[in-house]
Amino acid sequence: MKRATAPGAVRIVGGSLRGSKLAVPALAGLRPTPQRLRETLFNWLMPVIEGARVLDLFAGSGALGIEAMSRGAAHALLIERDRAQAAKISADLQRLHVANADVLNADALESLAGPAAQPFDIVFLDPPFEADLWTRAATLLDANGWLGVNTYVYIEAPAEMLPELPSHWRLHRETRAGAVRGALFCPG
C-alpha cells in the first residue's frame, strides 16, 4: 500500500474562483493534478468548457471538477469514495458558493456500472495510480451512456504508461509534467 502523502493545498488557477485554496489531506493514493498540468488541460478545454456537464471520477481533492466550475461549466458531478473527503469537497463547494455541482460519496466503478441519467461533455479520469482502474473505468464509461457524441475524456496516468482504452477513442492532445502524463481523448 502506498504511503499517504503530506497534507497541503492546491489553488484554483483560473476563472471566477481563481486563487481559491482547496485543502489536500494525507490520504493513501491522493495525488492532486500538478498546477502546470491543470493549466495546460484547461487551456485545451477552453473552447468547450462553457456550459459543459462535467464528471470528475475519483475526485480526490475536487480540484479538477471545481476548476471546471470556476471556468464556466454548467454542472459537475464529483464522485469520491472516501466519505470524509467527499464531505470536504461538499464543504469546499459550499464555502465557494458553487451551487451547480454535486458530490456523490460512492465507488466510481460501481457508479459507472449503471446507466447515466444523461451524458457528460467532459470527464476527468484520474484514479489512484496503484489501483490501475483506467481500463475498467473507460470501458464502463463507453458502455453505459456516460459519454456524449463530442465528449472529451482527460486521463492522468504515470508518464511511462498509457492505459488500454476502447479502440475508437482518439488521442486529441497530451503532455507530461514530471512523472505524470495527461492525455485528452475524443471517444466519439
Q: pLDDT tens-digit profile of 151-176? A: 999 999 999 888 999 999 999 999 99
pLDDT tens digits for range 96-123 = 999 999 999 999 999 999 999 999 999 9
Q: Kindly report which listed range (47-56, 72-81, 124-133, 146-155) carries the lowest average pLDDT score.
A: 124-133
Q: Which amino acid is at 27?
A: L
Class of domain 8-186: alpha beta
Average pLDDT, rounded, for the chain: 90
* pLDDT > 80? residue 31: no
115 phi and psi angles, rounded to 5 deg:
-75, 150
Q: Give CA–CA dist 13/36, Å, rounded.
A: 9
* pLDDT > 60? residue 6: no
Q: Where are the domains of the chain?
A: 8-186
What pLDDT score does 179 carry?
87
What pLDDT score does 177 carry?
87
What pLDDT score does 32 carry?
66
Q: Give CA–CA dist 27/31, Å, rounded.
A: 9
What pLDDT score does 77 carry?
98
Interval 130-149 mean pLDDT? 93
What pLDDT score does 10 carry?
83
More confident residue, 179 or 78: 78
Which pLDDT band holds residue 36 (cuts at 50, 70, 90)? confident
Q: How many CA atoms lie within 13 A of 158 on its CB side?
A: 9
What pLDDT score does 175 carry?
93
Interval 52-79 mean pLDDT? 96
* Residue of 41, 73, 70 lying closest to 54 (CA atoms): 73
Q: What percent of the chain is modeled with pLDDT above 70?
A: 91
Which pLDDT band holds residue 79 (cuts at 50, 70, 90)? very high
Interval 42-62 mean pLDDT? 96
Cell of 25: 489531506
